[in-house]
Amino acid sequence: MAMVETQKPKMRIPSDIKKGSIVEVKVKIEHPMESGLRKDRETKKTIPKHTLEKMYIYYGGEQISDFDISPGLSENPLIGFKVKAVKSAPLKVVLTCSEGNKFEETVDIKVS
């Protein structure tokens, strides 16, 4: 079965961040996001459910957002959200998968 291998998520933030500005953070993760409703065209078998379920965002150790992700999102989700850069601190994203896997990635926000 041609399955997309899940990997560590990738995060992107703007290079130049001023203190107090609102910046957009993009998170990309390679994941099949199978709903469990689709059938394989050749074997006629249902493809098992394999999707991301939750996404937590921590900024300087504090949780600032949590998202419930559904398989209604496309394969290899790209999620963008905003953060108010009030301090230089690490920004951590944690994603959980329906198969019990956990993916984490951290970037350092440096304000000037």
Partner 1 sequence: MNIIKDSLSRRAFLKTAALIGLISSIIPDMLIPKRVLADAESGKKAADPKKLTPEEAMHIPKVDLPIIAEDGSLVPIIVSVNHPMEPDHYIKSIYILDDLSAIPSKGLYRFTPANGEAYISTRIKLAETTTVRAIAECNKHGKCEGSSDIKVTVGGC
The residues of the shown chain that bind partner 1, judged by CB under 8 A, are 22, 24, 26, 35, 37-38, 59, 62-75, 77-84, 86
Whichever of 38 and 110 has its CB closer to partner 1, that residue is: 38
Spatial CA neighbour of 28 closest among 8, 2, 46: 8
Task: Kindly tell me which of 35 and 101 has the beta carbon lying closer to partner 1.
Answer: 35
Residue closer to partner 1, measured from CB, 48 or 80: 80
What are the tokens at 40? 């394989």
- Site of tokens 């965002």: 57
Residue type, 49: K
Q: How far is the CB of 3 from partner 1 (least distance, A)?
A: 16
Single out the residue of 21, 24, 25, 26 nearest to residue 87, CA to CA.
21
Task: Let me know: does 35 contact 51? Beta carbons within 8 Å.
Answer: yes
Instruction: Supply the minimum distance, in Å, between the C-beta of residue 95 and partner 1.
Output: 13
Residue 62 Cβ vs partner 1, minimum distance, rounded to whole Å: 7
